[in-house]
């Protein structure tokens, strides 16, 4: 399910991924998915708590600067929130506006992604829990993904090899 304020943008995305079973939907209908990815430049919430179903996971990616937010603050208050970097998230992530207005406190953040990956803290503990990953983007995440893509490409004989250093 895909939603965008621009029907043309929705159509372009769907057309660009012909092998995936995508369809255009309302925002409210899209948010009822098991996994919701928000990628907007919004400065006011576009995802409302009342639209979510129990067990939803949200990857909040769009709030990447001070003043941006995509999720209604009550979602954060009720959810298990994980951030990639605490300092970045407070200043430029999904939680930045609720923290700056006092609606949400940094102490309410459950964990960092590193703490979950290392096993110091457990992510989802039941199927009804709403979880939010507030991603501000870290170079280490990009490098890890690039490494996986590179290995998959090598395994499948895809891509072009370049000698950049003599």
CA 31 to chain centre: 13
Residues acting as catalytic residues: 64
Distance CA(36)–CA(57), nearest Å, equals 6
CA angle 9, 11, 15 (to 5 degrees): 120
Residue 69, classified by CB atoms within 10 Å of its CB into exposed (0-12), middle (13-18) or buried (19+), is buried
């Amino acid at each position: 399910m895909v939603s965008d304020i621009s029907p043309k943008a929705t159509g372009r995305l769907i057309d660009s991924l012909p092998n995936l079973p995508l369809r255009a939907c309302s925002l409210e209908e899209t948010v009822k998915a098991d996994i919701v990815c928000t990628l907007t430049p919004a400065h006011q919430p576009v995802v409302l708590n009342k639209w979510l179903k129990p067990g939803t996971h949200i990857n909040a990616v769009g709030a990447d600067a001070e003043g941006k937010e995509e999720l209604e603050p009550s979602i954060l208050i009720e959810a298990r929130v994980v951030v990639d970097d605490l300092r970045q998230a407070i200043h430029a992530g999904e939680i930045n506006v609720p923290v700056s207005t006092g609606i949400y406190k940094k102490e309410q953040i459950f964990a960092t992604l590193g703490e979950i990956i290392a096993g110091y803290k457990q992510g989802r503990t039941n199927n009804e829990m709403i979880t939010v990953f507030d991603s501000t983007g870290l170079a280490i995440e990009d490098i890890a993904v690039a490494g996986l893509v590179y290995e998959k490409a090598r395994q499948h004989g895809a891509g072009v090899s370049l000698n950049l250093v003599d």
